[in-house]
Amino acid sequence: MTEDANAIGRAELAACLHRITLGEHAALELLYKQTSAKLFGICKRILSDHLAAEDVLQEVFLLVWNKANQFDASRGLSPITWLAAIARNRSLDRLRGRGRAFAPLEAAAEVADARPLSDAHLESQERDQRLQDCLAGLDVRAAECIRAAFFGGQTYQSLAERANMPLGSMKSLIRRGLTRLKLCLEP
């Protein structure tokens, strides 16, 4: 995605979603042009399988076409985050439907190193930075597992098996991590 596409503002995407609720097909096409690469990246990250990711991407846009009216800016989510959350949920559903695929933990961990988006997202960048800092302050295994769960659709059982830890220890590790993360993010 180019810098231009990254700089697409929140208001512009929200306007696009509004036009979609009115049945404007051109708005759907515009939204697709502006967000499909980002959303496809998310589907691919979670699903690995290329064809499954294509299917889910299609599903996401059909859903948006029919349910754009469910976007509610008042929830505090930006339009792109709302769309990204739909792509993640649908991808996780697909993953669960066909049994779990085990993406390597490293695949999730590398997210932390991803280049930030354009300056247009300064505010969200600051928030992301805080999240990165807070994750970095956790037990390294807890942070890795939290990221792996977020992107991998893993269960405690699968995380415990991968880390070669007893189930109970994995649960305490993550629950402690979440409690510390909350304190760091919203003290």
Under rule CB under 8 A, residue 94 binds other proteins? no
Q: Nearest to residue 181, comparing CAs of 147, 131, 140?
A: 131
Give the residue, chosen from 47, 88, 103, 143, that forms a contact with other proteins under the rule CB under 8 A: 88
Cβ burial, residue 158 (10 Å; 0-12/13-18/19+)? middle
CA-based angle 158:114:91, to the nearest 5? Answer: 45
Under rule CB under 8 A, residue 85 binds other proteins? yes
Task: State the alpha helices, DSSP H only, in 48-155.
Answer: 50-67, 79-97, 105-109, 122-136, 140-152
Under rule CB under 8 A, residue 13 binds other proteins? no
Give the residue, chosen from 38, 48, 101, 109, that forms a contact with other proteins under the rule CB under 8 A: 38
Under rule CB under 8 A, residue 156 binds other proteins? yes
The b/e string for 108-136 (b: 16+ C-beta within 10 A; e otherwise) is bbeeeeeeebeeebeeeeeeeeeebebbe
Under rule CB under 8 A, residue 162 binds other proteins? no
Q: Nearest to residue 36, comparing CAs of 10, 62, 12, 66?
A: 62
φ, ψ at 155 (rounded to 5°): -105, 170
Under rule CB under 8 A, residue 182 binds other proteins? yes
User: Could you tell me which stretch among 8-16, 37-45, 136-144, 160-168 binds other proteins (CB under 8 A)?
Assistant: 37-45
CB of 128 to other proteins, least distance (A): 5
Nearer CB in complex with other proteins: 18/156: 156
Terminal C-alpha separation, the chain? 35
- Return residues touching other proteins (CB under 8 A): 1, 23, 25, 28-29, 32, 36-38, 40-42, 44-45, 54, 57-58, 61-62, 65-66, 75-77, 80-81, 84-85, 87-88, 92, 111, 114, 116-117, 121, 124, 127-128, 131, 146-147, 149-151, 153-156, 159, 174-175, 178-179, 181-182, 185-186
